[in-house]
Amino acid sequence: MTYLFLQQYWWFLVSLLAGLFVFLTFVQGANSQIFSLGRDEAERSLIVNATGRKWEFTFTTLVTFGGAFFASFPLFYSTSFGGAYWVWMLILFSFILQAVAYEFQSKPGNVFGTGCYRRFLVINGIFGPFLVGVAVGTFFNGAEFTVTRDAMAIGAPISSWASPWHGFEAVLNPWNLVLGFAVLMLSRTLGALYLQNNINDEALQPRFRRAVLVNAALFLLSFLPFVAYLLTAQGWAVGEDGTIMLEEYKYLHNLLALPLVLVLFLLGVVAVLVGLFSAIVRQSRCGIWYAGTGTVLTVLALFLTAGLNNTCYYPSLADIQSSLHIGNSSSSEFTLYVMTLVSALIPFVLAYIVWAWRSIDIPGLSRSELEKSEHKY
C-alpha cells in the first residue's frame, strides 16, 4: 500500500461517514416538524419516540466523523475546528440540546415541562443541519486561514484564523447559505419519509406525504442551483510541483476525470428521485430506503469530488498556498497504515448496526404499542 493509496482510502472513509451522517439527519428533520405534523400530545409523542429510537445513531456518526478526520487529516482538524470554532461549537451545542431533550423531557420532576425540551429538539432539527451545510460549503468555497509549517520549530501554532469572526464569516458567501438550506430541506424530507415508514397511524400518514412533497420541492429548488454553480465554479488545484492554483471548472473536470464518482453521483440523484416518486405518487412507505441510499451516494460523490484528483478540499481565501489537500494535511504513512488495519473491523460494526436497527424497528410504532412500551421519551 502506497502513501497516496492510504490517503485516498481514508478520504473515502471520511466521505462515506459524511454521507451516512447526512442520511441520519432524518432525526433532525423529523424533529423540526414535531409541532407542524403533530396536532396533539399523542401525535407529537409518536413522532418524538419514533426519532428517539434513532437519535444515538446520528450523534455517534457525527462524533465518529470528527474522530476520523482528526486521526487521518489532523491539520484540517486543528485548522478548522480550532479556527472556525464558533460554527463547530454551535453545531455541537445544538446536538447537546438534542441529547438533553431526549434524556430529560419525560423524567419525574421536570420543572421546565415537556414542551420546553421538545422545542430544544426543534432548535437542533433546524440549526443542526443548516449549520452543517454551511460548514461543508467552505469545502468548496474556502475559508479564512493561513498555515505556517515552520512555526512548529519555534513552538508557535502551525495554523491561524485570518478572520476575527472565527467561522461566522462563512454566512457571507450566499452559496454556503444555499447549501445549508438544501441540507436542512433534505433532512426534513428524509424525516418525513422516515416517519411515513416508521409510524403506523392513519391520521398522520397523509400529513407525512404532504410534508415530503413540500420539503422535497424546496430541497430540489436549492440543491440543483448549487450543483449548477459547483460545476461552473473555480476550484483550487494542486500542481505537479505542489503549487496551488485556481482552475476553471475544476469540479466538473473532477467528475469527468473520475467516472466512477460521476456514476455514484448520478445513481445517488436518481435513487433520491425514485424515493420521492415512491412516497408521493405511489404512496409507498419504503421511500426512505431509496432516498436514504441516494443521499449517502450523492454526499459521498460530492466529498470525493472535493478531495480527489489533486484538489484542495479546504481552500484558503487568506493565502492560496495554505490550502489543504489530502497530500499536505494527512497523518504519517505509519499512522494511516495502522488505522487501515484496524478499519478491517468496520464490516462487523456495520453488521451490528444493521441488526440493532432492524431489532428496534420491528414492529413499527403505533399508539397502542407506545402505550405498552416501558421506555418512552
Q: What is the DSSP letter of 362?
A: S
Q: Is there a contact between 310 and 324 (Cβ–Cβ < 8 Å)?
A: no
Instruction: Report the alpha-carbon distance of residue 363 to residue 366 in Å, rounded.
Output: 9
Strand residues in the chain grouped as ranges (E): 145-147, 159-161, 235-238, 244-247
pLDDT given for residue 113 in this prediction: 80
What does the pLDDT look like over 336-358, one tens digit per residue?
999 999 888 888 878 888 887 87
Residue 145: pLDDT band with limits 50, 70, 90: very high
Stretch 136-162: mean pLDDT: 83
* 3-state secondary structure at position 26: helix
Does pLDDT of 109 surpass 80?
no
User: Cell numbers at residue 232, please?
Assistant: 461552473
Would you state the pLDDT for residue 152? Answer: 58
Residue 41: strand, helix, or coil: helix
CB-CB contact of 315 with 162 (8 Å): no
Condensed to tens digits (0 to 9), the pLDDT of residues 34-79 reads 999 998 888 999 999 999 889 989 999 999 999 999 999 999 999 9
pTM: 0.95
pLDDT in tens, 178-201: 999 999 999 999 999 999 999 988
| Nine cell digits for residue 98 | 438534542
| Grid cell locating 236 | 483550487
pLDDT band at residue 115 using 50, 70 and 90 as cut-offs? confident
Q: Which long-range contacts (CB under 8 A, 24 or more apart) does 54-59 make?
A: 54/24, 54/26, 54/27, 54/194, 54/357, 54/360, 55/27, 55/98, 55/99, 55/102, 57/24, 57/27, 57/353, 57/357, 58/21, 58/24, 58/25, 58/27, 58/28, 59/95, 59/98, 59/99
pLDDT digits (tens, 9 = 90+) for 1-28: 899 999 999 999 999 999 999 999 999 9
In single-letter form, the type of residue at position 226 comes to F
